[in-house]
Chains A and B, each alone.
Chain A
Amino acid sequence: MSEAGSTQHAERRLSLLVTVLAFALPVVFVLVPLAIFLGYSFFSVDQGTIVYGLSLGNYVRFLTDPVFLPVFWNTIVLCVSVAIICILLAYPAAYFLTTLKGRWRYALLMLLLVPLLMSYVIKIYAIRSILGLNGFLNKALVALGILQEPSTLFVFNMNAILLTLTLLLIPFAILPIFLSLERIPQVLLRASDDLGASGLQTFLRITLPLSLPGVASAASFVFVLAIGDFLTPQMVGGISGFTFGRILYSQFGTAYNWPFGAALSVALAVVVIAAILVGERFGRNRGTSV
C-alpha cells in the first residue's frame, strides 16, 4: 500500500516537473531572448559600450538615414524577384510531376527535394565557382560562341545573389505547389473536358486558380528564407551586392552597434511576419473539396 502511495507520489512530482518544463523551456529559450532583443533596439551605443537608456534613436536613424531605407527596399525587391523566378521554374516542374503516375511521381519529387538537405555552404561555394569569371558558365558560353570573352555579369554583384538564392531555394517552391496541384480533384478536370473546354482553358480556369494557394505559400517560404540570408550575399555579392542582411550582420561585427542591429532586425521581422501572414491568408486551400 505504502509502496503504491510512494510511486503515485513520485509520479505526481514528475508530472509537476514536466509541467514546469513544458512552460519554462519555450519561454526561457525563445520568448525571453526575443524580448531582450526587442528591448535592445531601444538602447544605444556610446564609445563601444551599450547605454541602457530607452530611446527611439535607432528607429529614427533607420528611417531618416539615406543609406538604410534604399538598401532595405532593394533587398525586398531582390527577394520578391527570387520568389517569382523560383515559382516560374517550380510551377511547370510541379505540374509535370502531377502528370506522372504512381511511384514515378514521388521518386521524382524526392529527387527534386533531396538537394535541400545537402550542405548549404558547399552549395554556395559550388555555385560561385560555376558563376565565376573562370567558371563553368562563362566557359560554356564562350565555347558556344554566345560570348566573345568571359562576362562579369554574374560575378560578385546583385545578379549573382539573385541566381544563387534562386538555385538554393527552388525546392521550397516545388513542394507547396506540388501539394496544391495534387489536391485538385480529377473530376473537376474531367468535367471541364466533358463540357468541351480545351486543355488550355481547363488549365487557366480550373487548375491555375485552384493551385494559387500553393503558389502563395511557395512565394512566402522563398521570400522569408531569401531575406533572412546573410551568408549568400556575403559570399557571392562582392562589394556592390549589398543586402539588408549583410548590413544587419555587420552591426554585430565590424560596425559593433548591437542596439542598432537589433532595431534593423525588428524592421526585418516586420517584413517577414507580413510575408508569412500574406502566405497564410492566401495559402489556405478553399473550394477544392468536392
Chain B
Amino acid sequence: MSALPRLSTIFLAAITTLVAVLLYSPLFVPIVSSFFTISHGSVDWSAPTLSTYVALAENHDILVALRTTLIVGVCTVILSVVSGTLLALYYHGRRSGRSVLQFIIFLPFLMPPIISGLALLIFFREIGLERSLLTVVIGHTVFVLAIVYRTVLMRLQSMSRTLVEASYDLGATGWQTFWRIILPNLSSAMVGGAILAFALSFDETMITILVTGTQSTLPVRLWAMMRLGFSPDINALVALILMFTVLLCVLAARFLIPRQVATERT
C-alpha cells in the first residue's frame, strides 16, 4: 500500500465519522439529558436520575396523544395492509391500466406531503367530512399505501407460479388456493409492510397537521409544545420513542430481509 491510498482512506473514514456524528448527535442530546435534571438553566451532571420518567407518567396530555397515535397507527395498518394486499393481488400479472393506477398509488408518496395533505384537506371539506381522527387515518393510509403495496407486490413477483398451478392441479378451488397457498406465502411481506406502515404513521407530521381536527397525534402534540419550549419529561419520552423505533426497525428487517436473501440466491 502506498501512502496516497492510506491517506485517502483516513480522509474517507473521517468524513464518514463526521456524517455519523451529525446524524446521531440530534438523537443523543435528548436521550442523555433525560437522565439528568436541569437546574438554574444548566444540566446537573453530578446526579443521574429517573425523575423525568416519573414526570412523564404523570403528563396527561402526552399520554393521551400517545394513545391517539397508537389508535391511528393500528387503524392505518389494518386499512393499508388490507387494501395494499388487495391492490397487489389485483394488479399482479395484469397489464392493462396497471402502470397508470400504480402511478396514482405512488403519487402521495412521491409528492411533497404538503400537497397531498392540502389536497385531502380540500377534498374532505368538499365532501363535507368533518376533520377528525377518521380523516387522519385516511390521510395516513393514502400516504403509506404505496409502501405496503410495493412490499406485497415484490413478494408476489418472486413467488413461483408453480405453487399456484400445483394447487389447482391438485383440485383446490381458487378460494382454497388463496387461503392455503398465496396468503401464507405473503404473510411475512404483509407483516413487514405493516411494521413499515406503522413506523411511518407513528412519525407522520405534515399531513396530520393539515387534516387533523381537535385531537392531535404525538408528533403534532410535540410540535405544538415545542413552540413554548419543552419540559424535561419530553426528553424521557424521546428516549422511549427512539428505543421503540429501533425495535420496530429490527423487527421490520427480520421480516423483510429473508426475501432479499432469497431473491439474491435465485
Contacts and interface: CB of A to CB of B under 8 A. Distances in A.
B223 to A, nearest CB: 5
A171 interface: yes
A112 to B, nearest CB: 6
A123 B104 contact: no
A184 interface: no
A96 B16 contact: yes
Interface in B218-243: 219, 222-223, 226, 230, 238, 241-242
B245 A118 contact: yes
Given A125-B226, A262-B122, A265-B118, A30 B142 contact: yes
A120 B245 CA distance: 12
Chain A at the B interface: SS class: helix
A224 interface: yes
B29 A130 contact: yes
A182 B97 CA distance: 34
Given A118-B27, A120-B219, A122-B241, A269 B115 contact: yes
Contacts of B121: 252
A118 B119 contact: no
A112 B20 contact: yes
A170 B22 contact: yes
Nearest to A125: B226
Given A11-B174, A114-B246, A272-B111, A33 B123 contact: yes
Interface string A132-149: 001010000000000000
Interface in A215-254: 224-225, 227-231, 235, 245, 248-249, 252
A148 to B, nearest CB: 21
Interface string A9-46: 00100000011011101110111111011001000000
A130 B28 CA distance: 11
B210 interface: yes
A30 B203 contact: no
A92 B90 CA distance: 43
Chain A, interface size: which category? 35 or more
A265 B119 CA distance: 10
Contact of A228 (B101, B114, B119): B114
Given A96-B12, A130-B29, A29 B142 contact: yes
A77 interface: no
Contact of B238 (A21, A25, A119): A119
Nearest to B8: A199
A99 B11 CA distance: 13
A26 B11 contact: no
B30 A122 contact: yes
B87 A22 contact: yes
Nearest to A252: B118
Interface string A74-116: 0000000000000001101101110100000000101110110
Given A92-B12, A227-B112, A269-B115, A122 B107 contact: no
A120 B199 CA distance: 12
Contacts of A171: 23
Interface string B189-206: 000000000010001011
A154 interface: no
A47 B120 CA distance: 24
Given A22-B87, A276-B110, A115 B23 contact: yes
8 contacts: A29-B141, A30-B104, A99-B12, A119-B203, A119-B242, A171-B23, A228-B114, A235-B226
Interface of A: 7, 11, 18-19, 21-23, 25-27, 29-34, 36-37, 40, 89-90, 92-93, 95-97, 99, 108, 110-112, 114-115, 117-127, 129-130, 134, 136, 167, 170-171, 174, 198-200, 224-225, 227-231, 235, 245, 248-249, 252, 258, 261-262, 265, 268-269, 272, 276
The 3 closest A-B pairs by CB, nearest first: A228-B112, A33-B123, A126-B26
